[in-house]
Amino acid sequence: MQQDKNTAVVSVLGKDRVGIIAGISNLLSEYNININDISQTILDDIFTMVMIVDLKDVVIEESDISDKLRELGDKLGVQITIQHTELFNKMHRI
């Protein structure tokens, strides 16, 4: 899959509980953000998830979606971050 300025990485980390995936996917859907790829796992009750999302048709300012995800993370008891794919790749290069 080609990743460009219209894609972003959403990362989630926290204690596992019911509704994390549903809450995040519902919020993204509300703003017309498509999930292109998703990986999640639970290790010793710690929930981790990474999503590649498409921002091409987003109907909210990007800084606002970051705030909305942060607020949702507070409600769900997890940390949620979003970064453009280019920035994510540069930050995680060895």
Residue reference for tokens 């710690």: 46
> Does residue 2 fall inside a structural domain?
no
Do the beta carbons of residue 46 and residue 13 sit within 8 Å?
A: yes
**Distances 63 to 2, 48, 84 between C-alpha atoms, Å:** 23, 23, 11
Residue 12 above 90 pLDDT? yes
Number of domains in the chain: 1
Do the beta carbons of residue 80 and residue 11 sit within 8 Å?
A: yes
Interstrand relation of 34-43 and 7-15 (parallel, antiparallel or unpaired): unpaired
Per-residue pLDDT tens digits for 36-86: 999 999 999 999 999 999 999 988 877 799 999 999 999 999 999 999 766
Residue 5 above 80 pLDDT? no
Q: Which domain holds residue 65?
A: 7-91
pLDDT of residue 86: 62
> Does residue 49 fall inside a structural domain?
yes
**What is the rounded CA–CA span in Å between residue 52 and residue 37?**
5
Over residues 19-32, mean pLDDT = 96
Q: What is the CATH number of the domain that holds 83?
A: 3.30.70.260
> Does residue 22 fall inside a structural domain?
yes
Confidence of residue 1 (pLDDT cuts 50, 70, 90): very low
